[in-house]
Amino acid sequence: MFTGKKVRLRELHKEDLEVINKLGNEEEVIINLSTRLPIPRPLQVEEKWHEEYIKEYKDDFIQFVIEKLDGTIIGKCGTGHVDWKNACVTIWIFIGNPENRGKGYGSEALSLLVNFIFEEMNMNRVQLYVFGFNERAVSSYKKVGFVVEGVNKQELFRKGKYNDVYIMSILKREHDAAKGAI
């Protein structure tokens, strides 16, 4: 369920935090992941979050470590807002370290996550936001089956100007149809 041809998704351990923190603090990751201020996050903040996550452990906030099949940690992915009533979930993903990008690791991890959300969480819709300037990510999401639903103009102030944010989604029926075609 959580293992693909190149990567696997697994649980996050306290021992992983140092590596995750380093990957997540790469400029390329910070710039592309959040609309908030792009500042590196201290390891202690990561540890505090992890303690809260363990303390309040519940099944509607899901995060996975992404590792290559040889056990090298390359990133993280998970759910943001889970709306059970409307069966819609927002997701996020990042791959750190330039040499891990453009090799299909992210796409495969994403497709494992999407699979889990449709097949186990019984959702109808998976959505994500991606910055317009992050073309590699957009093409990766398209490969997994996401479509661009709209362009939210000028929603992100970054690099001195307002940038567009795309909203992308995949529906259960599209997921099922693609699966049937394989």
Partner 1 sequence: MLFSGQLVNLRAFRDEDIKPSVDFMNDMEIILNLDDDAPMPQSYETQKEWFEEMRKNKKSYKDFFWAIETKDAKFIGGCGVNRMDGKNRLAQVGIFIGNQDYLGKGYGTDAMKVLLEFLFEEYNVNKVKLLVFDYNKRAIKSYEKCGFQTEAIYRDSVFRYGKYQDMRSMAILKEEYFNR
What is the torsion angle, in degrees rounded to the nearest 10, for the CA atoms of residue 130, residue 33, residue 177 and residue 89?
-100
Kindly indicate which of the ranges 8-16, 50-58, 112-120, 124-132 contains the residues binding partner 1, using the contact rule CB under 8 A: 124-132
- Return the residue of 13, 81, 153, 179 that touches partner 1, per CB under 8 A: 153
Using rule CB under 8 A, residue 157 touches partner 1: yes
User: Nearer to partner 1 by C-beta: 134 or 169?
Assistant: 169
DSSP symbol at 174: H
Residue written as token pair 């989604």: 169
Q: Please count the other Cβ atoms lying within 10 Å of the Cβ belonging to residue 115.
A: 16
CA 83 centroid distance within chain = 17
DSSP code of residue 121: S
Of the two residues 115 and 152, which places its CB atom closer to partner 1 in the complex?
A: 152
Here the tokens at position 158 are 């970054």
Q: To the nearest whole angstrom, how small is the minimum distance from the Cβ of residue 63 to partner 1?
A: 23
Polymer length in residues for the chain: 182
CA distance 175 to 127: 13
Among 3, 35, 122, 139, binds partner 1 (CB under 8 A): 35
Give the interface segment with partner 1, choosing from 25-33, 71-79, 99-107, 167-175 (CB under 8 A).
Answer: 167-175
Instruction: State which of positions 54-73 bind partner 1 (CB under 8 A).
Output: none
Q: Are 12 and 63 in contact (CB under 8 A)?
A: yes
By CB under 8 A, tell whether 80 contacts partner 1. Answer: no
| Residue numbers at the binding site for partner 1 (CB under 8 A) | 35-37, 83, 85-88, 124-125, 127, 149-157, 162, 167, 169, 171
